[in-house]
RNA sequence: GGGGAUGUAGCUCAAUCGGUUAGAGCACUGGACUGUCGAUCCAGAGGUUGCGGGUUCGAGUCCCGUCAUCCUCGCCA
């Protein structure tokens, strides 16, 4: 063991260690040179400890200590001593003690860093943080987040392992399937002109594992989708992927509720109680305009179509659906200009306009107030639960076109008007999704989730007559307006599977070509099975209250899908391209 | 593919209506200081105002183009 190796971490020493000799390793967070005494705050992943260098202890050592600068890496041997009375630092966990140095070894110098590292450092632009990610990750904030991420993974692995789940790895180099998102492709050198695809998820493999008898599977799986990035979307991301056999929907839901409770209590020390409320997809869309509403606050959508048709307002008369929101007490919060801005905001989500009414004691302040008779105004107040001071907002359009702007408005108003406690967590399930949806471009039915989703038993008879009414055995876990997990019970019977394929216009030959290996597998005694996938990155975002997904990924990509540290993606040698048959 | 925001010292920002030598805090360098802890005090260095073009007597500021980062619509389980 080299003489410089540490006996303790920088977050460890306490008054109990008084008098002991300890060796610490770490980075110089800060230095205070008094000409005589030199103080160093030494930092590592575990914390910070003050080290004191006294010229009377060792003159040579003191000379070296005076030259220490930020981010130098050192090893210090010293005696743990209580701080002088009144000199304790309550900001540090180790603030009751300090290390009186007897030996100092400079392990490495550091150039002046492009930004400061320590806990007191001010925010730095993300571009510069990403370019020097090795320094950014050294910061306490990032170390806390990655530590939390690790604990979520560990809790998940332990929880599932204790319940008999096997972690099985599936290939990264797979077959491209035309469904869903755009694939990342990898050229095959051995088979010129052919490509592998990186997995969008291990979906097909995990179903095949069920056929193979691995009745409880999980994987913390990297997934790839070549689509545009967002604050909460990266081209590669991580899912906790789970699949089980001989189970139904309630088993998966119960399993995930248990895991969610364990994560919440183990990591945040907060108790949540299952079962989480379940809402049907129809219900959520009608009341909130989205299948993953933030349920920490109310402000439900109110349908006033009938009433609207009676008014003299043409836009209201002619719209197939008129629905609105009541922003309680918000009339004074939005000026004309503010309302114009809300209108423009709704427009970004497809609304062709936004009707607004400010509620007074006996009237409305609104450009459309004149279209309401006294009686209609009364009915409107009643329908909206309107009281003086409220702001009413309406979107008049097709029912399905009004979902997005209303949901976006509700989400924005909830935040802007502080209608909920941002520290709260609200868990719920969305169930009874439609199995199919109509593709406006092709006129075909397409699978809403994926084409292997089991329809609800009581809807099987509708498959041929009214496919739009068939509900799926699908379930999404919603947390604070985010989809935190989503899954389905799978089709394991060939005849039902064939029926669904024909509905979405997949003939047998085509289906065989695309998913033949799965269809073949299902012929050999496939057990009833189903599963779920949890977005790990989004869970960490929720738990750590992060604004963007990059902060919970060690080496993320920019919005242009580049890595500022390594420069990926990059050009490659022409020779390499020739080998791959690409040039 | 569309819309928007930002880009000034190593970092975070300022610079009035287009006007003199582009400033501040932190960091950095040198010096002083034996109980500091985001040390203090003194002195100093540091700029292709993202890049290219244009308008103007004069551009950090206005116009055009371009690049980068972020947000967002479309896209995406």
pLDDT score for A1:
67
Span A274-307, pLDDT tens digits: 999 999 999 999 999 999 999 999 999 999 999 9
Nucleotide with smallest C1' distance to residue A558 CA: B69
A177 touches strand B (CB under 7 A): no
Domain boundaries, chain A: 15-108, 143-279+427-552, 297-416
H-helix or E-strand spanning residue A153: helix A140-162
> Which nucleotide lies closest to A119 by the C1' atom and the CA atom?
B38
Q: HEC profile for A188-228?
A: CCCCCCCEEECCCCCHHHHHHHHHCCCCEEEEEEEEECCCC
The CA–C1' separation of A476 and B74, in angstroms, is 24
Q: Is there a binding annotation on residue A234?
A: yes
At residue A369, does pLDDT exceed 90? yes
Find out whether A88 is annotated in a ligand binding site.
no
DSSP SS3 for A244: strand
A87 CB less than 7 Å from any atom of strand B: yes
CB A6 within 8 A of CB A23: yes
Verify if strand B has an atom below 7 Å from the CB of A185: no
Neighbours of A29 (CB within 10 A): 23
Confirm if A523 and A512 have CB atoms less than 8 A apart: no
Q: Establish whether the CB of A96 is closer than 7 Å to any nucleic acid atom in strand B.
A: no
C1' nearest to CA of A115: which nucleotide? B11
Query: Which nucleotide shows the minimum CA-to-C1' distance to residue A486?
Result: B77
A46 touches strand B (CB under 7 A): no
Whether the beta carbon of A55 falls within 7 A of nucleic chain B: the reply is: yes
Residue A464, pLDDT score: 86
Q: Per this entry, what is the length of chain A?
A: 583
Q: Given this model, what pLDDT does residue A321 score? A: 95
Residue pair A187/A137 in contact (Cβ under 8 Å)? The answer is no
- Is A468 labelled as part of a ligand binding site? no
Give the per-residue pLDDT at A282. Answer: 95
The three-state (H, E, C) secondary structure of A29-47, written as one string: EEEEECCCCEEEEEEECCE
Give me the sign of the Cα torsion angle A168, A181, A149, A552.
positive
**The pLDDT of residue A187 is above 90:** yes
Residue A178 to residue A196: CA distance in whole angstroms: 13
Instruction: Give the tens place of pLDDT for each residue, A233-259.
Output: 999 999 999 999 999 999 999 999 999
> Which nucleotide does the CA of A37 lie closest to, via C1'?
B34
Strand B bases with any atom < 7 A from protein Cβ: 1-2, 10-13, 25-29, 32-40, 68-77
A292, two tokens: 């993953």
A203: nt with nearest C1' to CA: B77
**Residue A535, annotated ligand binder?**
yes
Return the pLDDT at A244. Answer: 98
A144 is known to lie in a ligand binding site: no
The pLDDT tens digits of the residues spanning A161-182 come to: 999 999 999 999 999 987 789 9
A226 is in an annotated binding site: yes
Query: What number is the average pLDDT over the span A356-378?
Result: 94
> Phi and psi dihedrals of A120, rounded to 5?
-90, -5
Average pLDDT, chain A: 94
Assess whether A32 (CB) lies less than 7 A from strand B: yes
Q: Say whether pLDDT at A232 is over 70.
A: yes
Tell me whether residue A257 is annotated as binding.
no
CB atoms within 10 A of CB A350: 14
Average pLDDT over residues A431-436: 94
From the Cβ of A230, is strand B under 7 Å away? Answer: yes
Q: How far apart are the C-alpha atoms of A445 and A505, rounded to whole Å?
A: 7
Among A59-73, A447-461, A473-487, the least confident range: A447-461
CA of A54 to C1' of B77 (A): 61
Averaged over A325-347, what is the pLDDT? 93
pLDDT value for A110: 96
A50 touches strand B (CB under 7 A): yes
Question: What is the predicted pLDDT for the residue at A412?
Answer: 95
Report CA(A131)–C1'(B8) in Å, whole number: 20
What does the block give as tokens for A234? Answer: 């990266």
Assess contact for A496 and A205: CB atoms under 8 A. no
**CATH 3.40.50.300 is right for the domain spanning A297-416:** no
Whether A333 has a pLDDT exceeding 80, the answer reads yes
pLDDT for A441: 67
CATH topology of domain A143-279+427-552: BirA Bifunctional Protein; domain 2 (3.30.930)
CA of A115 to C1' of B49 (A): 21
Say yes or no: Cβ of A568 under 7 A from any atom of strand B: no
Distance from CA(A131) to C1'(B49), angstroms, rounded? 22
Residue A442 has pLDDT above 80, yes or no: no
Instruction: Concatenate the DSSP letters of all residues of A296-359 into one string.
Output: TS----EE-HHHHHHSS-HHHHH-SEEEEEEETT-GGG--HHHHHHHHHHHHHTT-S--EEEEE
Q: Is the pLDDT of residue A50 over 70?
A: yes
Counting Cα atoms < 13 Å in the Cβ hemisphere of A11 gives: 6
Interface residues 336-375 of A with strand B (CB < 7 Å): 348-350
Mean pLDDT, residues A311-329 taken together? 95
Torsions phi, psi for A29 (to 5 deg) = -80, -35
Instruction: Please determine, for residue A491, whether its predicted confidence score (pLDDT) is greater than 70.
Output: yes
- A547 in a labelled binding site: no
CA-to-C1' distance for A416 and B67, Å?
35
Tell me, what's the pLDDT at A44? 97
> CA A221 to CA A241: how far, in whole Å?
7
Residue A428: CB less than 7 A from any atom in strand B? no
Average pLDDT of span A547-567: 96
User: Whole-number Å distance, CA A348 to C1' B65?
Assistant: 28
Pick from A104-118, A195-209, A495-509: least confident = A495-509
pLDDT at residue A439 greater than cutoff 90: no
Distance A256 CA to B24 C1' (A): 54
- Token pair recorded at residue A15: 């008054």
Summarize the confidence of residues A24-41 as an average pLDDT.
96
Proximity of residue A56 CB to strand B below 7 A: yes
Domains A15-108 and A297-416 belong to one CATH topology: no
Q: Does domain A15-108 have CATH number 2.40.30.30?
A: no
- Is A18 annotated in some ligand binding site? no
Res. A553: pLDDT tops 90: yes
């Amino acid at each position: 063991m080299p003489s410089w190796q540490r006996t303790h971490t920088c977050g460890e020493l306490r008054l109990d260690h008084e008098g002991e000799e300890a060796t610490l390793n770490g980075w110089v967070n800060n230095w205070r040179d008094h000409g005589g005494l030199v103080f160093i705050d030494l930092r590592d992943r575990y914390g910070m400890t003050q080290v004191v260098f006294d010229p009377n202890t060792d003159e040579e050592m003191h000379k070296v200590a005076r030259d220490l600068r930020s981010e130098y890496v050192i090893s210090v041997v010293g005696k743990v001593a209580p701080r002088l009375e009144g000199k304790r630092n309550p900001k540090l966990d180790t603030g009751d003690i300090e290390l009186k140095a007897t030996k100092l070894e400079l392990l490495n110098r550091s150039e002046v860093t492009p930004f400061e590292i320590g806990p007191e450092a001010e925010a730095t632009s993300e571009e510069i943080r990403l370019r020097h990610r090795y320094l950014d990750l050294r910061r306490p904030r990032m170390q806390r987040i990655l530590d939390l991420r690790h604990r979520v993974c560990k809790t998940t692995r332990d929880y599932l392992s204790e319940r008999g789940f096997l972690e099985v790895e599936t290939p990264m180099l797979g077959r491209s399937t035309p469904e869903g998102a755009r694939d990342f492709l990898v050229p095959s050198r051995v088979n010129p002109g052919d490509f592998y695809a990186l997995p969008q998820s291990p979906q097909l493999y995990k179903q095949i594992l069920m056929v193979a008898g691995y009745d409880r599977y999980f994987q913390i799986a990297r997934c790839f989708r070549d689509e545009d990035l967002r604050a909460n979307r990266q081209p590669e991301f991580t899912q906790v992927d789970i699949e089980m056999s001989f189970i139904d929907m309630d088993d998966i839901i119960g399993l995930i509720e248990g895991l969610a409770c364990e994560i919440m209590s183990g990591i945040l020390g907060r108790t949540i109680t299952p079962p989480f409320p379940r809402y049907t997809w129809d219900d959520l869309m009608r009341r909130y305009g989205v299948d993953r509403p933030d349920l920490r606050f109310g402000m439900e959508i109110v349908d006033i179509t009938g009433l609207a048709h009676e008014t003299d307002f043409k836009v209201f008369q002619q719209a197939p659906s008129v629905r609105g929101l009541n922003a309680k007490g918000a009339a004074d919060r939005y000026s004309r200009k503010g309302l114009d801005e809300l209108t423009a905001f709704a427009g970004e989500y497809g609304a062709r306009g936004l009707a607004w009414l400010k509620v007074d004691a006996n009237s409305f302040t609104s450009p459309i107030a004149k279209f309401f008779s006294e009686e209609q105004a009364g009915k409107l107040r009643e329908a909206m639960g309107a009281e003086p001071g409220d702001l009413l907002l309406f979107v008049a359009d097709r029912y399905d076109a009004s979902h997005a702007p209303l949901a976006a408005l509700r989400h924005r108003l909830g935040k802007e008007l502080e209608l909920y406690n941002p520290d709260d967590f609200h868990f719920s399930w969305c169930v009874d999704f439609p199995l199919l949806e109509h593709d406006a471009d092709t006129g075909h039915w397409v699978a809403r989730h994926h084409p292997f989703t089991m329809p609800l038993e009581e809807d099987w008879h509708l498959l041929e007559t009214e496919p739009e009414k068939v509900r799926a055995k699908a379930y999404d876990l919603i947390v604070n307006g985010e989809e935190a997990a989503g899954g389905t019970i799978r089709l394991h019977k060939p005849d039902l599977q064939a029926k669904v394929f024909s509905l979405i216009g997949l003939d047998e030959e085509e289906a065989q070509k695309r998913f033949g290996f799965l269809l073949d597998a299902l012929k050999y005694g496939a057990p009833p099975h189903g599963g779920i996938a949890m977005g790990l990155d989004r869970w960490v975002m929720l738990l750590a209250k992060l604004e963007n997904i990059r902060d919970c990924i060690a080496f993320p990509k920019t919005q242009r899908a580049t890595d500022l540290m390594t420069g990926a993606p990059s050009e490659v040698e022409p020779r390499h391209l020739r080998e791959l048959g690409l040039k």
